[in-house]
Structure 1
């Protein structure tokens, strides 16, 4: 067995390339199952929105009567409150044929997600709890391997190994001579099975390397505090670890909380019974952010005494889905405006880290690309194992 895990060094092979090759084999065999599971679950979850839109197409999309005006969003929210309890968020899609999505979530339960006709306020239907549970299961597998914090740690170690495998795989792939480059970029489909498998591993691994690396790093960012901290500091932000050595951040947070509580105190004294009109807030938002985009209303609760409206802007060079935000007080006054393009780089990255990881950042085109790349990620442990197994036989 030692022969197959610690091969002989080839003639004229550098020590560095030999070590990379041996580590690539060992670590690849060690992490192969977890990498396969993570990539497969990620490829399924990438199409979550599209699958849900297909499953619920009769309620997600509606037939609008010609010249029929849309009713105030407050009416829809009131209907939801009567039928399901307090709403927490409302999504008003930019697409004219899409219904309004109202959701109610809490720490205790997944709540309800219901679709309403924006012309009549009529309830069209709710998300099926089975499909919600299915995607929750897929996400749990993808992030925690169904093993809680232990699974999260194992997952993280496997992804770190995968990042090294991408690097070592590139070192192994590098041809000795420039005239061999063309051969290294093609798959010989007319060859025998093991040769095709070998080419699939090397060539597909090379073509997908950068995106797989990016997806791995952003996945670690979303899941792990220390990676998030390192990335944010690297992009020019303050450390998100609050400690005695980080007095500046503590002071900044303290001042911001003092200001917020002062505002809340004044509002509570003068406007205890006053409620903001959500429709008017949408109109204000559209008058400030003058472009067509999906709007997400995050309603105030016991923890957040403000109403946030996020509007998704795609009118940029790369057509990224980037969020501009307005924070309203509970009586409808504008507290803060956040234009994505005016934010520091580290804050911009915080806002788009998740869609960058899932592929939603540019809509369906990048979701399809991410799906295909994730499938390649699934295939690498399989084709790699077959390469090793052939040598063992």
Structure 2
């Protein structure tokens, strides 16, 4: 089972693991490479989201804004605007309104391409999601079967099973790299796979929510709100609803370092605000929703009032990439991803080595039979 399931999923596991490693430090890499992601902190307040939308619409009048993102005071704000076939990501100084950078094909920049490979493994999304999901489940089964194979039967075998014998044949070193390191990384790799699956499949995230809440479902926090399309917008508006919601969310969540705003693209969709206490970390969020026509508060759900299940689901991404434990956690998850990518490779070498050994033994056996027959004929 361990061997043949490895053949089925090995290549996909290798690609998914390597792409995950490349993507894991994408924020730090982009901060180091691209100066437009940072700005000098201004003396005044940040521009309101309606003003950022006007700047984006001035450049692309026919575009539809899908996101407005605020980060820490020393970072540019980001506006995503769809012009049809192309989704632009505009980086704007939140104090002066100056356009710092226009990424004309945001979905296909390097790191988003890496993320797409991680999710879909070069396949179309519908097919790739199924293949990657199935391979991840198989990988989890392989890890369990590998643990059973590794488990020492006798007490004096335990030390040998926990150390790599470097001063021996390369095949033995390869075997130890597969089995010993595989054991050490078992729990972290299993967590990597499980957290990745829970972000991809609703049935698993709903199961986690149900189990973490002891079988209870809190309908109020899961309720979907809509804007009232029958309300007529007055010609004279003191403050735009999206700005009113922004000011309200910032007042109610004063420790916010990052705010993601969905401006309500569809007629019935509300304007949604997600406030995070740490920039580029997606845990412990406060969420707000308002009517896009009237500015009426529809939903206010601070993290302190969320159920255990919802809080756990909110930390899923940070757990998956390790940043919930800071830089050290990211490094641990990065190394676990590299080791997970190495396991199919070392496993393949183990299989090829055993196959070659069997062939050699068979060849020696055939040679012995021929020799005995020759000796008998000579006698």
Bin for the TM-score computed over the shorter chain: 0.7 to 0.9
CA distance in 2, matches of 1:130, 1:77: 17
Pick one of 308, 316, 324 that aligns with 2:286: 324
Q: Which runs of 5+ in 1 are unaligned?
A: 1-22, 240-247
1:215 maps to which residue? 192
2:250 to 268, 283, 286: 286
Aligned positions of 1:286-365 closer than 5 A:
286-314=250-278, 321-330=283-292, 331-362=294-325, 364-365=327-328
RCO comparison, higher one (Cα < 8 Å, 6+)? 1
Measure how far apart 1:131 and its partner are: 8.0
Give yes or no for the alignment of 1:39 onto 2:17.
yes
Question: How many angstroms does 1:348 deviate by?
Answer: 2.6
**2: CA distance, partners of 1:86 / 1:344:** 34
Pair 1:215–1:105, CA change in 2 (3 A): farther
> 1:141 pairs with 89, 112, 117, which one?
117
* Distance in 1 (alpha carbons) for counterparts of 2:256 and 2:8: 49
Deviations 1:295-354 (A, max 9, x none): 112212225542222111259xxx973211122223333222111232223323443334
| Contact 2:53/2:79, CA 8 A, preserved across alignment | yes
From 58, 77, 80, give the equivalent of 2:53: 77
- Secondary structure of 2:96's aligned partner: coil
Match of 2:149 in 1: 172
8 Å CA contact retained: 1:100, 1:118:
yes
Q: Please list the CA deviations of residues 10-36 of structure 1 after superposition, one character each: whole Å capped at 9, or x if unmatched.
A: xxxxxxxxxxxxx21222233222211
- Secondary structure, counterpart of 2:163 in structure 1: coil
Unaligned runs of 5+ in 2: 357-379
8 Å CA contact 2:56–2:81 kept in 1: the answer is no
TM-score by length of 2: 0.79
Between the aligned partners of 2:172 and 2:317, the Cα distance in structure 1 is 38
Structure 1 residues 228 and 130, CA, compared in 2 at 3 Å: closer, same or farther? Answer: closer
Using the size of structure 1 for normalisation, the TM-score is 0.77
RMSD between aligned residues:
3.3
Aligned to 1:190: 167
Q: 1:109 to 1:211 in 2, by over 3 A?
A: farther
By how many angstroms is 1:205 displaced?
0.9
Alignment CA distance shift 1:130-1:222 (3 Å): closer
Task: State the alpha-carbon separation in 1 of the partners of residues 53 and 193 from structure 2.
Answer: 39
Residue correspondences, number: 348
How far the C-alpha of 1:375 sits from its partner, in A, is 0.7
